[in-house]
Amino acid sequence: MRALFSYGLALVILLGAGAWLATGTFVRGGNGPENGVRPIVSIIEGQDHGPLHESLANAGVLAEHHDVEGAELTVAQRTAQVNGANAPLQSVRTAVFEARPMPIEVPLRGRTQAKAIVSAVAETAGIVQTVHVTKGQRVDVGEALCTLDQGTRAAAVAQAEAGLAQAQAGIEQAQLDFDTNAQLRERGLAAPNTQNQFAVALRSAQASLSSAQVALDNAQEEMARTEIVAKVAGVVQDPLVSQGNMLALGGTCATIIQLDPMLFTATVPERYIAVAHTGLEAAVTTVTGQTAEGKVTYVAATSNEATRSFPIEIELPNADFALRDGVTAQATVQAGDMPGHLLPQSVLTLDDQGVLGVRTVENGVVAFYPVTIVSDTRQGVWVSGLPERAEVITVGQEFVNAGQQVEATLLDGPVTQPDNAGTQQESAQS
C-alpha cells in the first residue's frame, strides 16, 4: 500500500508540473526582441491555438505573448525607446581632416646585382709570364692584369720596322727618278713616252710603303696583345689564371665584377605597373643596413607568366664599392601622389560586418566610410575613401553607429597634417 501511495503521489506531482509548464512560453534565441516566442502548449499540440491551448486560455492560466511594436528598429532606436524620448544624445569628439597630396610609394623586395661580370680574355695565345692582380683587388680601366711571354713577337716587330724603312727608301728613289724624268722631258732630252714608266714605278713604291706600314702595325698590335688590361673598373674575382699557364686564344686571364653602378633587381606587381616607368626616384635599404638612392632604369614590357609581375631595375651609384652583389634588399619607389588623408591610427574602426573604416559626423548624424590604408608612417596612416573635407570622430567612435544622432564637440581649427597619431589622440582627449 505504501508503494502504491508513493507512485500515485509522484504521478500527481508529475502531472501538476507538466500542466504548469504547459502554461508557460518557449523562447528561441537569435530572432531579435519579442521574436521566436511560442506557448509550450502549442509545441505539445503541434499547432497554434489548438483545443488544449484554447481551454487553458479560457481558464486564464495560459501566458500569452503579444508582438512588440517596432521590433525591427535599429539598436540605436530601441535604445532611445528604452531611455525615453528625452534621453541625452551620445557625446563624441571630432576633428576636421582635409585631403591633400598623398605620396604613392611602391614597395619592392629584391636583391642587389652587379651591373656586369666581364671576363678579361687573351686575344692571342701564349704562356702567362706575369699576373699583376689578386682576387678581391680593385682595378680601373686600362690597368694591367696579365702579361704573356712575347716569344718571337719582338723579332717580328723589328723585321716589320726594317721592311718599312726599306719601303720608305724605295719611294724616295722612285720619286727622285720621276722628278728627274720630268725635267729631262721638259728639255727634250727624254722621250715623252718615258713618263708612264716612272709613274708606275712611283705608284709601286707607294704601295710597298703602305704594305710595310700595315705589317708593322700588325706586328705591334700582336705585341700589345701580350698585355691583357681591364676593360671595365671593378673587383677581380675567380676565375683568375696562374703564372706559367698556357692561355689559348679566348682564354680567361681574370674576371672583373663591375660594381659601379650597382643594380637593384625586383619585380613589380601588376597592380602597380600602371605607375611604374623609368626615371622614378627610389630608395634602397639592404638587410645589412646600407642605404642608397637611385633611379628606375628599366621596366619590363612583359610579365612573368608564373607570378604576373614585371621585372624592374634600379641603378644605384656605388663609387666606393660599399654595396655588394647578391644582397637581399628592399626598395621604395616614389610613383607620384594622389589625394588622401593623413589620420591618426586610433580613429580607424570596424563596422558590424568587419569592414575597416572611419566614422564621421555630418549634420549631427554619424556616417561610416570604408577606407583603404595606402601607407603607414610615423606621422599617421594615409588612407583613401573619405570626402575631401571630413569631420572624423576621434573619441567615442566605438559607441555609436551609422545613422545615429550625436552631440559632437569639434576641435578648434581643421586638422590637415597631424604631427603624430599620439599627439592627435592626446588633443582629442583633452
Amino acid at 279: G
How far is the C-alpha of 161 from the C-alpha of 166, rounded, in Å? 9
How far is the C-alpha of 243 from the C-alpha of 129, rounded, in Å? 6
Phi, psi at residue 329, to the nearest 5°? -150, 165
Q: What is the DSSP letter of 180?
A: H
| Residue extents of the structural domains in the chain | 2-59, 90-101+338-429, 150-225
Q: What is the DSSP letter of 115?
A: E
Q: What is the DSSP letter of 128?
A: E
Q: What is the DSSP letter of 423?
A: H
CA 108 from centroid of its chain's CA atoms:
2
Return the CATH fold of 90-101+338-429: 2.40.420
- The label of the residue with cell 559626423 reads 361
- Pairing relationship of beta strands 90-98 and 406-410 according to DSSP bridges: parallel
Neighbours of 309 (CB within 10 A): 18
Print pLDDT tens along the chain (430 aa): 666 667 666 766 766 666 655 566 655 654 544 555 666 656 666 666 667 667 666 666 555 555 444 444 555 555 555 554 556 888 999 999 999 888 888 889 999 999 989 999 988 888 898 999 999 899 999 899 999 988 888 888 888 888 888 888 888 888 888 888 888 878 877 788 777 888 888 888 888 888 889 988 888 888 888 899 998 889 998 888 888 888 888 889 999 999 989 999 999 988 888 888 899 999 999 999 999 999 999 999 999 888 889 999 999 999 888 999 999 999 999 888 888 899 999 999 998 888 999 999 999 999 999 998 888 888 889 898 899 999 999 998 888 999 999 998 887 644 444 444 333 333 333 3
Q: Return all residues near 162 (Cβ < 8 A) that are at least 6 apart.
A: none
| DSSP-derived secondary structure for 258-308 | EEEEEEEEEEEETTTGGG--TT-EEEEEETTS-EEEEEEEEE-SS--TTT-
Amino acid at 103: P
Beta carbons of 327 and 286 less than 8 angstroms apart: yes
Strand, coil or helix: what is 209? helix
pTM of the model: 0.55
C-alpha cell at position 13: 506531482
Which of 336, 320, 332, 421 has its CA nearest to residue 379?
421
Strand, coil or helix: what is 362? strand
Amino acid at 356: L
How far is the C-alpha of 360 from the C-alpha of 122, rounded, in Å? 74
How far is the C-alpha of 253 from the C-alpha of 196, rounded, in Å? 55
29 CB-side CA count, 13 A: 0
| DSSP-derived secondary structure for 139-172 | E-TT-EEEEE--TTHHHHHHHHHHHHHHHHHHHH
Which of 112, 139, 133 has its CA nearest to residue 322?
112
